[in-house]
A and B are shown apart, each in its own frame.
Chain A
């Protein structure tokens, strides 16, 4: 069965620290990978997506993710987090339907 896994469930960082959230997928075939974010009290929204091409994908608000095929990974990164990045982050993927990971709650301390 296809799956997407996130190993960090809770992350606490201070402002200006660098962020990396892990995401691994387990399926073959066409790779469709996404990162979604849910800010407190807001809807889920798309941060970035990868289908093919350049494995380094840039998204909104300074986020980027790197697709590493050999590691089945699609980790999310940000060089310097802000307090406003406090949110829950979901990795998602799939070949014929969306599969979401369990999410990572990020808290950024001012």
Chain B
């Protein structure tokens, strides 16, 4: 079974530039999560999708971050414009369905460096 795929794996940009990350969840997984993991901290949930609808985006800085999951499969997370404090690893995870009973499977992450 293929795992969660993410690209790119690494990205370096200058502040005020824009960047986009892509995630392809495990086939058949209805729920998709984006996390931000700043160095020295645990993952912080940014947004959770159930199919192509948003379940929770309470911690997404909506003035600069946006995410979509148009066909209920792949998802993109965008930052525009980036700030220095956005430097982090962005993790995508998926599960069969929402809630805590279904295991989350994580992708390898995208490491973003903002200069």
CB-contact partner of A43 in B42, B56, B100, B106, under 8 A: B106
Majority DSSP secondary structure for residues of B touching A: loop
Is B106's CB under 8 angstroms from A102's CB?
A: no
Is A51's CB under 8 angstroms from B101's CB?
A: yes
> In the assembly, what is the distance between CA of A49 and CA of B101, in Å?
9
Which residues of chain B come closer than 8 Å to A90, judged between CB atoms? 42-43
- Residue among B91, B100, B101, B107 with most chain A CB within 10 A: B100
Is A97's CB under 8 angstroms from B48's CB?
A: yes
> In the assembly, what is the distance between CA of A53 and CA of B107, in Å?
31
CB-contact partner of B42 in A46, A49, A51, A103, under 8 A: A103
Kindly state the interface size class of chain A when it binds its partner.
10 to 19
- Whether B44 sits at the interface, judged by CB under 8 Å, is yes
Give 14 pairs: A residue, B residue, CB < 8 Å, sorted on A: A43-B3, A43-B107, A43-B109, A44-B43, A44-B91, A44-B106, A46-B103, A49-B100, A90-B42, A90-B43, A94-B100, A98-B104, A102-B40, A103-B42
